[in-house]
Amino acid sequence: MKEAAKIQVGNIILIHNELYKVLSASFSGTAKAEKQVKVSMKSIPEGKFQEKVFHPDEKVEDITPPHKKAQYTYSDNENIYFMDDETFEQFAMPRGIFGNRSLFLKEGDSFNVRFFNDAPVDIDFPSRIKLKVSQAPQAIHDGSSVYKKVRLENGIEIDVPQFIKEGDLIEIDPETTQYIDRAKAEEGGK
């Protein structure tokens, strides 16, 4: 158990026998107003978003579980499948756990998968993903739009600034699928 004021992004907490992953936690209050901790969280495995307000001294059960290294193998309409790097056993995780992040899984990628009661409940996913722009229209300089739609190497389309062109490597937020920045080329020209 930990005080609500010490909740951090990424913690997995147990509330009324349900698991939630903390997406954001902010502390607020003034000398006159009561202090509070506002937490945005996502239920596991359903992936439903919820906000809850705690008193800073309120006890919260932090059960952030240990992780195992696993490799993404494939997915179907309901589940995403991984292989444990040590035992080579395959296991499935419901798509609801991933949200938009499932769009950015590549076969063979390794992740830290968190388990609770011997069931996979969460995955440590990078907050930024680098992808190459595979199709991009010419920039429009008429001032009508700051953004244009491009297609990425994994087939999804996102809005990016006009200066992005085909072949550029960009960083996007896998949770929101939004453009973050133009990425620097990796060593070796990749």
CA 112 to CA 10: how far, in whole Å?
13
**pLDDT above 70 covers what percent of the chain?**
94
**Which pLDDT belongs to residue 52?**
92
Residue span(s) of the chain under CATH 2.30.30.30 come to 2-62
**Which pLDDT belongs to residue 186?**
61
CA 190 to CA 188: how far, in whole Å?
6
Is the Cβ–Cβ distance between 9 and 23 less than 8 Å? yes
CA 46 to CA 97: how far, in whole Å?
6
Please state which of the four CATH numbers 3.30.360.10, 3.30.1490.100, 2.40.50.140, 3.90.220.20 is assigned to the domain occupying 129-189: 2.40.50.140
CA 101 to CA 156: how far, in whole Å?
12
Is the Cβ–Cβ distance between 72 and 57 less than 8 Å? no
Q: Which CATH superfamily is domain 67-124 in?
A: Nucleic acid-binding proteins (2.40.50.140)
pLDDT per residue as tens digits for the range 56-115 = 888 998 887 888 999 999 999 999 999 999 999 999 998 878 878 888 888 888 999 988
CATH topology of domain 2-62: SH3 type barrels. (2.30.30)
Residue with tokens 């453009």: 179
Per-residue pLDDT for 160 more than 60? Answer: yes
Q: What is the DSSP letter of 77?
A: S
**Which pLDDT belongs to residue 170?**
95
Q: What is the mean pLDDT of residues 2-28?
A: 88
**Cβ partners under 8 Å of residue 37, min gap 6:** 4, 5, 7, 25, 26, 27, 28, 53, 54, 55, 56, 58
Q: Which amino acid is at 114?
A: R
Q: What is the mean pLDDT of residues 140-163?
A: 86
Residue span(s) of the chain under CATH 2.40.50.140 come to 67-124, 129-189
Q: What is the DSSP letter of 32?
A: S
Per-residue pLDDT for 123 more than 90? Answer: no
> What are phi and psi for residue 104, nearest 5 degrees?
-110, 15
Is the Cβ–Cβ distance between 74 and 25 less than 8 Å? no
**Which pLDDT belongs to residue 190?**
43
**Which pLDDT belongs to residue 135?**
92
